[in-house]
Amino acid sequence: MVESAAAPGLAAQVGLRDTPRHSAWVRVTHWTSAFCFVVLVVSGIAILLAHPRLYWGETGSLGTPSLVDLPLPFVLDVPIRGPGRYLHFLAAWVSVFTGLVYVTRGLLARHFSRNLLPPRGELTLGAIRRVIGNHLRFKRSSEDELASYNVLQRLSYTGVVFVLFPAAFWTGLAMSPAVTSVFPFVVAVLGGQQTARTLHFVAACALVLFLLVHVAAVCQTGF
């Protein structure tokens, strides 16, 4: 009797563990975006090495004072630099299309309101400190904690989806003469193409930092 009663409970636990934590559309858009982001970072570095200085305003060149001199060499003959721009734009548009699919499907399925937007009760300094403390101590999350996103995950994912990625896309468009010639307000609201380039670099660095922390958290909690 004990064995027959325990078997269904064990089967239920096994079935729960075998159930995918995320739906198929989330996983497909996630890995498509991850691949595109790697291509964007590699091609972006190749483009940046041609002139590793950042400016503010409309123009910037070797003869004008720079805002930031990145500790990178000027490399004009990077092998990927030629096709790098095409790869960058291609990966960017694929990423935008994937993001639109993800956001549209997420809004229809109420994915953001249920899983990403933090409840008001969790938006406290104490809750955020507790989550950060657990990560800094490399404390492995329990099964109950893994069942839903914590407040730090919700804030970071929401910021990436609705702030950093749109900012990177907007500033990227602002650096395109073909786009700004038709829609000059895209760059005008930013204060110039060099300002857009600097903000684009900042958004890209923030996304890379998120990626590193994201992968570290996955390694900590388990694949």
DSSP 112-157: IIIIISPPGGG-SHHHHHHHHHHHHTTPPPPHHHHTS--HHHHHHH
Indicate whether 35 pLDDT > 50: yes
Cα angle 67-73-77, degrees, rounded to a multiple of 5: 120
Lowest mean pLDDT among 123-137, 169-183, 186-200: 123-137
The model's pTM: 0.80
Mean of all residue pLDDT scores within the chain:
82
Indicate whether 179 pLDDT > 80: yes
Output the six-digit token pair for 215. Answer: 């992968």
Indicate whether 16 pLDDT > 60: no
What is the structure's pLDDT at 41?
95
> Between the CA of residue 72 and those of 42, 53, 68, 69, 175, what are the distances in Å?
15, 9, 11, 8, 21
What H or E segment, with its residue span, contains residue 54?
Answer: strand 53-54
